[in-house]
């Protein structure tokens, strides 16, 4: 019984402490220049992984989602983007080249075609997406990274990739916030911290994706550092 109470108290501290600590930490990057395009693989990626960035940026932000799931999820994405103050979004339904699957790597040409169209449509200066591991190891996520590596280097577009971290860091948000507080930022990274005034918005956005609210999503929302912190490598 004592052990159970101890574990419960420790979990409670790790869940609640970030709401207090976040008041003393601010993003080291709140860029105001240009328009930002977030390229994601699935509806709900925007709030599960990128909410601190979308809520920190003072520029226009747009979302390109490369798979649809079904019409119900499209509507969920629209409501989530509204919560995250996204200016506009686009969702793609291509079951041949961009099939939602853990085991399928997507066509780089198909990805780049949609990205380039969005860049032109919204006058984008910076693209944000996953790195080569894709945070969760999902092949659809990592396919976006490898496609964006092929984006023309003469296009004057910048690409920031969200850094994947080991699982022992992924769910220790309190420790990660303390680490960010005491560390210095490098020229090759950008760090976005969830603004304290918006600390409930990622949860509200995720609750718009009601079709995806299985039990492990709740654990993710309670403990994942991606709800609070995004750090990026500057690829180009």
Q: Which of 163, 173, 194 is nearest to 56 (CA)?
A: 194
104 assigned to some structural domain: yes
Write out pLDDT tens, residues 195-232: 989 999 999 999 999 999 999 999 999 999 999 999 99
106 assigned to some structural domain: yes
22 assigned to some structural domain: no
Q: Give residue for tokens 């601010």.
A: 26
Read off the pLDDT of each residue in 126-152 and give the average, rounded to a whole number.
93
Q: What is the pLDDT of residue 227?
A: 95
Supply the CATH number for residue 155's domain: 3.40.50.10320
1 assigned to some structural domain: no
How far apart (Å, rounded) are the C-alpha atoms in residues 119 and 231? 23
55 assigned to some structural domain: yes
189 - beta bridge partners? 233
CB contact set of 103 (below 8 Å; sequence gap of 6+): 139
Output the CA–CA distances (angstroms, integers) from residue 77 to 32, 34, 80, 185, in the order listed. 25, 24, 5, 32
Write out pLDDT tens, residues 82-116: 999 999 999 998 888 998 888 889 999 999 999 99
Mean pLDDT, the chain, integer: 87
Domain span at residue 69 reads 35-234
Q: What is the pLDDT of residue 15?
A: 79
Look at residue 72 and tell me whether its pLDDT is greater than 90.
Answer: no
158 assigned to some structural domain: yes
39 - beta bridge partners? 64
15 assigned to some structural domain: no
128 assigned to some structural domain: yes
Q: Which residues of 112-128 are buried (b: 16+ CB within 10 A; e: fewer)?
A: bebbeebbeebebbbbb
Q: What is the pLDDT of residue 198?
A: 94
How far apart (Å, rounded) are the C-alpha atoms in residues 168 and 149? 28
How far apart (Å, rounded) are the C-alpha atoms in residues 166 and 170? 6
As a whole number of Å, the CA-based R_g of the chain is: 18
Q: How many domains in the chain?
A: 1
């Amino acid at each position: 019984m004592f052990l159970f109470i101890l574990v419960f108290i420790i979990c409670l501290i790790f869940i609640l402490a970030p709401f207090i600590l976040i008041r003393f930490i601010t993003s080291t990057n709140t860029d105001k220049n240009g328009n930002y395009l977030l390229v994601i693989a699935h509806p709900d990626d925007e709030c599960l992984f990128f909410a601190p960035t979308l809520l920190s940026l003072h520029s226009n932000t747009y979302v390109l989602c490369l798979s649809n799931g079904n019409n119900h999820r499209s509507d969920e994405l629209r409501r989530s983007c509204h919560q995250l103050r996204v200016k506009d979004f686009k969702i793609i339904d291509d079951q041949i080249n961009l099939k939602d699957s853990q085991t399928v790597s997507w066509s780089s040409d198909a990805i780049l075609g949609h990205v380039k169209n969005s860049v032109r449509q919204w006058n984008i200066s910076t693209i944000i997406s996953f790195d080569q591991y894709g945070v969760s190891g999902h092949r659809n996520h990592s396919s976006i990274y490898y496609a964006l590596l092929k984006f023309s280097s003469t296009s004057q577009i910048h690409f920031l990739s969200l850094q994947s971290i080991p699982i022992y860091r992924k769910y220790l948000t309190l420790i990660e916030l303390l680490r960010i507080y005491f560390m210095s930022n490098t020229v090759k990274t950008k760090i976005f911290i969830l603004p304290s005034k918006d600390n409930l918005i990622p949860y509200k956005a995720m609750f718009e994706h009601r079709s995806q609210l299985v039990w492990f999503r709740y654990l993710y929302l309670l403990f994942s550092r991606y709800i609070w912190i995004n750090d990026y490598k500057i690829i180009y």
